[in-house]
Amino acid sequence: MKTLALFRHAKSDWSDARARDFDRPLNERGKRGARAMGEYIRDTGRTFDRMIASPAVRAAETVEESSKAWKCTFKVEWDRRIYLASSATLIDLLKELSGDPKSVLMIGHNPGLEDLIFDLVPDDGSSPLREVVEEKFPTATFAVMELDVDDWADVAEGCARLVEIKRPRDLDPTLGPVLVD
């Protein structure tokens, strides 16, 4: 059994229309969301043997802000393949993991992370939380899957069960969508 946690980068800043997508930083709401999720993850007591992340600025800043809340720093493996990756690319990356970590945290982007959940978790009712992802997998969302594999090389479609999902708005309603009357 392996554990894979996914953490979508927090809300990014779109104020500079000239900025490359890769270079967009977090906005203030994103920084608050990353810290809130970092506190939540810390409070769950979850630990990770490996942390791999997209090197895009908004993902790196999500790691930085959430680490402040965890009150520790992590050795992060930056992998550009995570940036805008498809689910298939993310599965390939997982299959290549060395050192046999029991638990991995991946910080990245949609639609890849969301599609990874859809590919790994069967749509057969065995993971009721899958419906939450079908509704939306917003920025700064944290999800945990248990994979029914002994080796990362065996990761395949349908091998997982979604056991936890937490959205920023679940922690603080002001971190959710802005409702307009």
- Please say whether the beta carbons of 134 and 70 come within 8 A: no
Strand-pairing partners, residue 162, are 145
- Please say whether the beta carbons of 33 and 13 come within 8 A: no
Enter the tokens of residue 154: 């065996």
Binding residues: 58
Three-class SS of residue 158? Answer: coil
Binding residues for substrate: 58
Residue 116 CB contacts under 8 Å (≥ 6 apart), including other chains: 6, 87, 90, 91
Which residues of 40-181 form beta strands (DSSP E)? Answer: 50-53, 77-78, 103-108, 142-147, 160-166
Neighbours of 38 (CB within 10 A): 25
